[in-house]
Amino acid sequence: MIEIYHNPRCRKSREGLAILQDSGQVFQVVEYLKHIPNKETLAAIVKKLGIKPEQLVRKNEAIWKEHYKGRDLSESEILEAMAEHPKLIERPIVISGDQAVLGRPPELIAEFIAK
């Protein structure tokens, strides 16, 4: 089953969701601000994306700038920060099996689900 980690208030996330809806694929929407992923789930997502945790952080968020910017954080600490403050999680994320894509730009989602 395909999952999309989605924030309805985010334009890019809405564009990614529309791509999935238009694809005809069966998928599940995870509104991650309501159903906050824990550290272990985030670690699994990062692994599926093939990136470092820091690459999944929205660094322009005030929370990041005020509490984390400029600090030497471990990967575990970055995952904890995202679990504690889910606004820090970049979106949309689409997961299928053991692979995932960050929909920035959203067109990457269309390429991902076409595979």
Tens-level pLDDT at each residue, the chain (115 residues): 999 999 999 999 999 999 999 999 999 999 999 999 999 999 999 999 999 999 999 999 999 999 999 999 999 999 999 999 999 999 999 999 999 999 999 999 999 999 8
Position 115 scores a pLDDT of 83
Q: How many domains does the chain have?
A: 1
Q: Which domain holds residue 39?
A: 2-114
Position 107 scores a pLDDT of 95
Q: What is the pTM for the complete model shown? A: 0.95
Catalytic residues: 10
Provide the CA 101 distance to its chain's centre, in angstroms: 8
Position 36 scores a pLDDT of 97
d(CA 106, CA 100): 13
Position 94 scores a pLDDT of 98
Long-range Cβ contacts of 6-9 (<8 Å, 24+ apart): 6/30, 6/31, 6/32, 6/91, 6/92, 7/31, 7/32, 7/33, 7/91, 7/92
CATH code, domain with 88: 3.40.30.10
